[in-house]
């Protein structure tokens, strides 16, 4: 069995300040972990993925995430938020046979 | 550019009137997925095709069916839409290796279904 918990349903930051979106997971297997972003009325865009290589993963638009097995976490960070980062973010854990489990999502608001 | 295409972007249907949503891909991926996403919720997997093999999620209603006539196309058929079926429907694709590893899923822009 596997599960994903996104610890914050809403995060609000000011433009230019750091972003932290938290994700904890559980999995009976070595998981693959993903962060996707979804802007309003759009599909999901892949930000970054972890697939058992380097634990610090760099993604698009300045985002990165660190896989911490001891803490079963895969938090998403960005040093400086931009207005265009305002969106819904999903943490996803995947194992074989196409089984993906989505977190409930975190809404990021960026204030001017 | 290789991509996942969904048409139409918005679909309006009447209560009980069958509707078909379309997805096509130019990625040549062997796995295609259909998700349902209701407002302010995470996407929920309905089913996926691994090549021609259809895999239905246990809690997917019988009202939802799918067809994959070839590698590039996949259709979602809703036989008798109810008001509760109004949602965004997302198509995704991925490649599964010979050892059964499913790689990254790439999503289309979605079709928003409105049921009147």
**pLDDT digit string (tens) for A14-44?**
999 999 999 999 877 778 899 999 998 788 9
Superfamily of domain A2-31+40-75+84-105: Immunoglobulins (2.60.40.10)
> For position B91, what pLDDT does the model report?
95
Chain A residues within an 8 Å CB radius of B74: none
- Is the CB of A34 less than 8 angstroms away from the CB of B104? yes
Q: What are B19-58's pLDDT values in tens digits? A: 999 999 999 999 999 999 998 899 999 999 999 999 898 8
Number of CB atoms found within 10 A of residue A73's CB: 18
Q: Which of A45, A90, A94 sits opposite B42 (nearest CB)?
A: A90
- Alpha carbon separation from A24 to A70, A91, B82 (Å, rounded): 11, 9, 35
CA distance B26 to B73: 9
- Chain B from 57 to 86: CB within 8 A of any A CB: none
Query: Which of B9, B34, B43, B94 should we substitute to test contact with A (largest number of A Cβ atoms within 10 Å)?
Result: B43
Give B59 to chain A, closest Cα distance, Å. Answer: 14
- Mark yes or no for CB contact B41/A43 under 8 Å: no
Within B1-116, strands assigned E span 4-7, 10-13, 19-25, 31-37, 44-50, 53-56, 64-67, 73-78, 87-94, 106-107, 111-115
* Domain residue ranges of chain A, discontinuous segments joined by +: 2-31+40-75+84-105
- Which domains does chain B carry? 4-111 (2.60.40.10)
**Cβ neighbours of B108 in A, within 8 Å:** 43
In which element (H, E) is residue A66 found?
Answer: strand A64-68
Mean pLDDT (chain A) is 91
**pLDDT tens across A63-110, in order?**
999 999 899 999 999 999 999 999 999 999 887 666 788 999 999 999
Q: What is the mean pLDDT of chain B?
A: 92
Residue B96 at interface with chain A, using a CB cutoff of 8 Å? yes
């Amino acid at each position: 069995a596997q599960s994903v918990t996104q610890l914050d349903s809403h995060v609000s930051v000011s433009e230019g300040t750091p972003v932290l979106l938290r994700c904890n997971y559980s999995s009976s297997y070595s998981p693959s972990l993903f962060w996707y972003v979804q802007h309003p009325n759009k599909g999901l865009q892949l930000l970054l993925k972890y697939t058992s290589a380097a634990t610090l993963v760099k993604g698009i638009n300045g985002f990165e995430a660190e896989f911490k097995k001891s803490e079963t976490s895969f938090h998403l960070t960005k040093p400086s938020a931009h207005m265009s980062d305002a969106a819904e973010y999903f943490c996803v854990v995947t194992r074989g046979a196409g089984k993906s489990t989505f977190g409930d999502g975190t809404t990021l608001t960026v204030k001017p | 550019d290789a991509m996942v295409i969904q048409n139409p972007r918005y679909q309006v249907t009447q209560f009980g009137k069958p509707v078909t949503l379309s997805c096509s891909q130019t990625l040549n991926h062997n796995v295609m997925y259909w998700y349902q996403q209701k407002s302010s919720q995470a996407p929920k997997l309905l089913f996926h095709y691994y090549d021609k093999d259809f895999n239905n999620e246990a809690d997917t209603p019988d009202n939802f069916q799918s067809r994959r006539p070839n590698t590039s196309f996949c259709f979602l058929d809703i036989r008798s839409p109810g008001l509760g079926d109004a949602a965004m429907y997302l198509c995704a694709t991925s490649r599964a290796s010979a050892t059964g590893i499913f790689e990254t899923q790439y999503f289309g822009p979605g079709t928003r279904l409105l049921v009147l």
